[in-house]
Structure 1
Amino acid sequence: MILDVDIGHVQGAFSLRARFQSDGKLTALFGPSGSGKTTIVGAIGGLVRFNHGRIVVQGQVLVDTKANVFVPKHKRRIGYVFQEGRLFPHLNVRQNLLFGRWFTPRHDRKTSFDHIVDLLGIGHLLERRPSTLSGGEKQRVAIGRALLADPQLLLMDEPLASLDEARKAEIYPYIERLRDEGEVPIVLVSHSVAEIARLATSIVVLSEGQVTASGPAFDILRHTHLFAQTGLAEAGALIDAQVLRHEDSFGLTVLQTKAGTLRVPHLTYPTGTGLRVRLRARDIMLSLQKPIGMSALNVLPGLISSIEYAEGPSVDVQLDCSGDHLVARVTRKSVEELGLKPGLPVHAIIKSIAFDPEALGAVKPQHM
């Protein structure tokens, strides 16, 4: 187990009671402001001393209030990346990176400087000062500095929150590389569904100081009631895909999934690239028969696995499409008129233009 957290903390009017475990390469702590995300990462990093509980990282007990164990933050080997890069302005990029080495005994320094520079694509920045870097470049350097301290865990507290969409798009691929190719597990704080859909392998959902759900990203994201705070438009399912081919004359890319092929607006990824695709519940319609004479290009057969009712007119219909689990948001009236029930075969209809580009990210190819 990479991370085992069981803590209780009261500070003023705020009360936190968080218990979860994660074995994911990138665990996202998700929730609105004030839900306890930053308090938890502060507790893991040793910046917050909580009232009672226990924290174990990669088998090492960092805190156990019952046993009176509290490892000081400078001995925890935890890397920390904040919203702002917090680079030293008087040092160039190379010097900022090497500063991380000071916190690790020489005999424990295993991470290659050249490997981190290559992984983060910052070789051309080494002689520049922080004042000349973009926001995305500063964050990549800050991540590199943290990694060169040879941490056993990397904490990232909303590292993209201060960046515009262009800078976010610049840094996403590097975080994906860290997740898929790096050897250091990551805990990422975020309040963006698209961000965690693109990056997370495990998700811990927080609300008002309580853990409301935790588990693999593919399981958590399709339970739309967990994300009611972000608006119904955000909820949906996550599936693996590979780039099958490009239909340049139509401006489309064809993706292969377990459920079948999907056509999406043209992507720049080469053939064979593994992708994570988020299909929003609001963008999926259901039909009892395979439709004909429709403009929608994507029709996936499946079986209804469950129907989740909530307050209001909407109902979430969970689908099993040959192993890919989707969710469609329909009205109660549609459920009644179509006679929708678990086990019923249906067809999911998805518009090509409905795909969420921000949540689309590269991963190591999976077997389809």
Structure 2
Amino acid sequence: MSLAVRLHSRLGDFEISAEFEAGAGVTALFGHSGSGKTSILKMIAGLIRPQSGVVRADGRTLFDSEAGTDIAPPKRRIGMVFQDARLFPHMSVARNLTYGRWAGNRNSSADLDRITELLGIGGLMDRYPATLSGGEMQRVAIGRALLADPALLLMDEPLASLDQARKREILPYLEEVRDETGLPIVYVSHEVDEVARLADTLVLLSDGTVLGSGDAVEMFSKLEFGPALGRHEASSLVSGTVSAIDAQYGLCTVSLEGGQELHIVSDRVRAGDRLRMRIKARDVALSLAAPQDVSVRNVLPATVRSFALDESPFVEIVLDIGGQALRARITRHAFDALGISTDLPVFAMIKSVAIGQRMLSGRK
């Protein structure tokens, strides 16, 4: 399944010009408030008609301004999940879910069983929305959207109204939906944590324009997109497999692609789990020699790939650790004192406690 979008429209004084492609998995539309994320989502759904462009999903043309094609929203086979769950308050969870199946002209109950198990809502069927937590309501809303048999799932900041505890509750279910359904999912967010954890493809937006799009891991490592992601949030996405667990100290060892190891604090993983970890650039320190007798548990041999100098007192650096990119931010003073240059071998130091629970995600 795939999605191709090319849109241009003027909404009052605001102009949108967006073009990107995505396959199965999560495509995150990321940008600060007012960047055009939700407007683009509504154009894909058919809720806003663009002035020109094309939208194709799963081989079907949903909109083509030149051909005069503009399929009505109910016939686009799109599931939509909003910031608020928008459940019918007078209906039980079961009836809310079966409404989704009815809206998608579904006659089989097989999908209902699979989706309620996927989202962990089987025990909520007789309850009403007023008795559910925010996370439970959003899971039901996602189930209703999936039962409409969509070819494409659109999510407009589905976690924005939830507190941190509810976000932690629902994120694993979003991962299950991503990994198990095979649907293209367009996910709008301005939270870097969510994007780092969920996205396969990242589309960076600013003032209605796509600054860049592509594989999420690669996009995070590109220095030119630092301002769009936010200097404070500049990070790397590093992948590996849990190879050992030390229950005594609450640490686990993650074998990285390329043969190196990373030690992280976690009590929620098992040996064999695949992880994608977010490491903030400001949590990476550099040394020219392997340090001795330090509290930092992660000291990784690395090579300087590239760096970016500007007028700020900081320097952004991209390192290579066994074929994966690791970003570091150091002061200009440290950069000059260490004599940093391209291809220079260094040691990257990362505190285990800097890679927190919210920065971990299981990957299949």
The TM-score bracket by the shorter chain reads over 0.9
* Preserved contact between residue 111 and residue 148 of structure 1 (Cα < 8 Å): no
Unaligned runs of 5+ in 1: none
Q: How far apart are 1:22 and its partner, in Å? A: 1.7
Please say which of residues 27-36 and 15-24 is displaced more in the overlay: 15-24
Q: What residue identity is the alignment partner of 1:198?
A: R
* Preserved contact between residue 266 and residue 357 of structure 2 (Cα < 8 Å): no
Query: What is the rounded CA distance, in whole Å, between the counterparts of 1:322 and 1:216 in structure 2?
Result: 19
Q: Which residue of 1 aligns with 2:269?
A: 269
Q: Which residue of 2 aligns with 1:251?
A: 250
Residues 1:19 and 1:56: Cα distance change in structure 2 (over 3 Å): same
Q: Which residue of 2 aligns with 1:221?
A: 220
Q: Which residue of 2 aligns with 1:148?
A: 147
Q: Does 1:329 align with 2:329?
A: yes
Residues 1:20 and 1:239: Cα distance change in structure 2 (over 3 Å): same
Q: Which residue of 2 aligns with 1:281?
A: 281
* Preserved contact between residue 39 and residue 48 of structure 1 (Cα < 8 Å): yes
C-alpha RMSD of the superposition: 1.6
Q: Which residue of 2 aligns with 1:310?
A: 310
Please say which of residues 257-266 and 294-303 is displaced more in the overlay: 257-266
Deviations 1:210-265 (A, max 9, x none): 11111111011123552435642211100112222222222322222125221222
Query: What is the rounded CA distance, in whole Å, between the counterparts of 1:120 and 1:346 in structure 2?
Result: 45
Residues 1:166 and 1:86: Cα distance change in structure 2 (over 3 Å): same
Q: How far apart are 1:10 and its partner, in Å? A: 0.6
Q: Which residue of 2 aligns with 1:210?
A: 209
Query: What is the rounded CA distance, in whole Å, between the counterparts of 1:305 and 1:229 in structure 2?
Result: 21
Query: What is the rounded CA distance, in whole Å, between the counterparts of 1:337 and 1:327 in structure 2?
Result: 19
Unaligned runs of 5+ in 2: none
Residues 1:307 and 1:111: Cα distance change in structure 2 (over 3 Å): farther
Q: Which residue of 1 aligns with 2:129?
A: 130
* Preserved contact between residue 106 and residue 148 of structure 2 (Cα < 8 Å): no
Q: How far apart are 1:295 and its partner, in Å? A: 1.3
Q: Which residue of 1 aligns with 2:300?
A: 300
Q: Secondary structure at the match of 1:88?
A: coil
Residues 1:86 and 1:104: Cα distance change in structure 2 (over 3 Å): same
Query: What is the rounded CA distance, in whole Å, between the counterparts of 2:211 and 2:109 in structure 1?
Result: 38
Residues 1:230 and 1:302: Cα distance change in structure 2 (over 3 Å): closer
* Preserved contact between residue 8 and residue 18 of structure 1 (Cα < 8 Å): yes
Q: Secondary structure at the match of 1:228?
A: helix
Query: What is the rounded CA distance, in whole Å, between the counterparts of 1:283 and 1:291 in structure 2?
Result: 16
* Preserved contact between residue 24 and residue 185 of structure 1 (Cα < 8 Å): yes
Normalised by the length of structure 1, the TM-score is 0.95
Deviations 1:332-353 (A, max 9, x none): 2322222212211111110111
Q: What residue identity is the alignment partner of 1:48?
A: I
Q: Does 1:42 align with 2:42?
A: yes
* Preserved contact between residue 248 and residue 266 of structure 1 (Cα < 8 Å): no
Q: What residue identity is the alignment partner of 2:80?
A: Y
Q: Which residue of 2 aligns with 1:350?
A: 350
Equivalenced residue count is 363
Over the matched positions of the two proteins, sequence identity in percent amounts to 46
Q: Which residue of 1 aligns with 2:179?
A: 180
Q: Secondary structure at the match of 2:221?
A: coil
Query: What is the rounded CA distance, in whole Å, between the counterparts of 2:182 and 2:194 in structure 1?
Result: 21
Query: What is the rounded CA distance, in whole Å, between the counterparts of 1:76 and 1:262 in structure 2?
Result: 45
Q: How far apart are 1:58 and its partner, in Å? A: 1.9
